[in-house]
């Protein structure tokens, strides 16, 4: 029954994927489409509003989405140690993220369209996080140690996998962006929460943790 519900969510999401607006298309196709898109900052009031918006489903078969995916990768590569990026961070409120997979050999960068976390472990880790869109901000956050993720690729093929550790943290951080959740706001909401501390970050001391 649960599996059927998840499939239904993906089917409905695919049907509800709205066409890109003229504004979104102008951003995606501005300048050289082989180069990075500028990363939005909370220090700019208009860009901050975009970062706080909830993202819509993306149509994986739209060729403009393929361009966006490619340019997002270039944006991430242009940063100093960034390990993940979400579409709102380049001005597009669509459910697309890039994540560096430290759980795979060679730590490759991979994209994910319409990612959904369908399960989170109760066990949580406490570790440092920063954000490419929030200058000079860094703090400690609780994240589930293990998640189950579902998503599609640019061919519309659906995937499901279990992710844990530092990579799971990156996924949770980037998917938060798709719901307009910034870590600067998240810290305020967590002040009254209590968790069992488990220090299981394996990469946090080696990376800049900027996502």
Residues annotated as catalytic are 174
Closest CA to 55 of 93, 85, 29: 93
Distance from C-alpha of 43 to C-alpha of 21, rounded to nearest angstrom: 25
- CA-based torsion, 53, 120, 18, 177: positive or negative: positive
SS3 153: coil
Give bridge partners of residue 84 from the DSSP assignment: 99
| Dihedral sign computed on CA atoms, order 102, 104, 107, 111 | negative
| The two structure tokens encoding residue 100 | 């560096």
Cα within 13 Å of Cα(15), Cβ side: 6
């Amino acid at each position: 029954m649960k599996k059927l519900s998840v499939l239904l969510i993906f089917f409905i999401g695919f049907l509800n994927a709205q066409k890109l607006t003229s504004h979104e298309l102008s951003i995606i196709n501005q300048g050289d489409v082989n180069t990075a898109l500028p990363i939005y900052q909370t220090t700019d009031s208009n860009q901050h509003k975009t970062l706080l918006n909830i993202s819509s489903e993306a149509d994986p078969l739209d060729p403009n989405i393929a361009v966006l995916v490619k340019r997002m990768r270039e944006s991430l590569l242009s940063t100093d140690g960034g390990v993940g990026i979400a579409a709102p961070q380049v001005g597009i409120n669509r459910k697309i993220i890039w994540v560096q997979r430290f759980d795979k050999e060679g730590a490759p960068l991979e994209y994910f369209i319409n990612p959904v976390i369908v399960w989170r472990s109760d066990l949580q880790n406490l570790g440092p996080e920063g954000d490419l869109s929030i200058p000079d901000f860094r703090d400690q956050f609780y994240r589930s140690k293990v998640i189950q993720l579902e998503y599609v690729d640019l061919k519309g093929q659906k995937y499901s996998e279990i992710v844990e550790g530092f990579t799971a943290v990156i996924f949770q951080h980037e998917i938060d962006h798709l719901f307009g959740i910034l870590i600067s706001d998240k810290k305020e909401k967590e002040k009254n929460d209590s968790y069992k501390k488990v220090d299981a970050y394996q990469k946090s001391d080696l990376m800049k943790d900027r996502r």
